[in-house]
Amino acid sequence: DAGITQSPRHKVTETGTPVTLRCHQTENHRYMYWYRQDPGHGLRLIHYSYGVKDTDKGEVSDGYSVSRSKTEDFLLTLESATSSQTSVYFCAISESRGRPYEQYFGPGTRLTVT
Amino acid sequence: AQTVTQSQPEMSVQEAETVTLSCTYDTSESDYYLFWYKQPPSRQMILVIRQEAYKQQNATENRFSVNFQKAAKSFSLKISDSQLGDAAMYFCAYRSIMNRDDKIIFGKGTRLHILP
């Protein structure tokens, strides 16, 4: 299994509070991703990073920000959590050097915003 | 933009039988990767099988095989001798070779139930 951890694994927070989710990898992979998973929507990309301090938006980036100051860590921040951000969040990593290009996923974080 | 469509939200199969999950995709590219991921109740996303578009031979991993029809843009997953542990959500996914950002586009998933 790829060395990817996410913290916390579960979190309940109140509307309007800031929340930061952490993804940590031990594989030294260049690319890191944050997805959210909701029933009926599959996995949707929030933000991704293609190197330290290099990030870009995905399809559902509104209300989220990210930071990557080290290769191994990718942080997802909800500046002011809303109930619509209740979801399961997955981090993934990949390395584009050579094929086969798949992404490896962390165990997920279940976030509930009340 | 590429899209991935899984038209079967849920499917059921009897234990030990064979089941096929459908996936179609839309792209104008000629070289790409396709994947099937499995997500059991534990929520962990597990890569089941991958297919390189330039390879005509269908990929196989033990009881899992694909039927890759490039012209039809179809990529179905066949599970033979279904087992209770195969019960999961299955996601079809597409990855462009031309894009250097490694982004993967996922379908919405098919939930597979195994009937004992």
Question: In chain A, which residue's Cα lies nearest the Cα of B48?
Answer: A102
Instruction: Give CA–CA dist A1/B73, Å, rounded.
Output: 31
Give me the residue spans of the domains in chain B.
Answer: 3-115
In 10 A of CB B46, how many CB atoms? 14
What phi and psi values does residue A96 have, to the nearest 5 degrees? -85, -5
| pLDDT for the residue numbered A102 | 80
| pLDDT for the residue numbered B22 | 98
Tell me which residues of chain A have a pLDDT lower than 70: 1-2, 96-100
d(CA B34, nearest CA chain A) in Å? 9
Question: pLDDT tens across B65-92, in order?
Answer: 999 999 999 999 999 999 999 999 999 9
| pLDDT for the residue numbered A9 | 96
In 10 A of CB A98, how many CB atoms? 6
Question: pLDDT tens across B14-54, in order?
Answer: 999 999 999 999 999 888 999 999 999 999 999 999 999 98
Pick the CATH number of B3-115 from 3.20.20.450, 2.60.120.10, 2.60.40.1180, 2.60.40.10: 2.60.40.10
Planar angle of CA B33, B36, B40, nearest 5 degrees: 150
Question: Within an 8 Å CB–CB cutoff, is residue B101 touching chain A?
Answer: yes
Question: pLDDT tens across A68-98, in order?
Answer: 999 999 999 999 999 999 999 999 998 866 6
Domains along the sequence of chain A with CATH: 4-113 (2.60.40.10)
Instruction: Give CA–CA dist A67/A26, Å, rounded.
Output: 17
Chain-chain contact of B45 with A33 (C-beta, under 8 angstroms): no
CA distances from A21 to A43, A65, B43, B44, B75 (A): 17, 11, 17, 17, 34
| pLDDT for the residue numbered B102 | 67
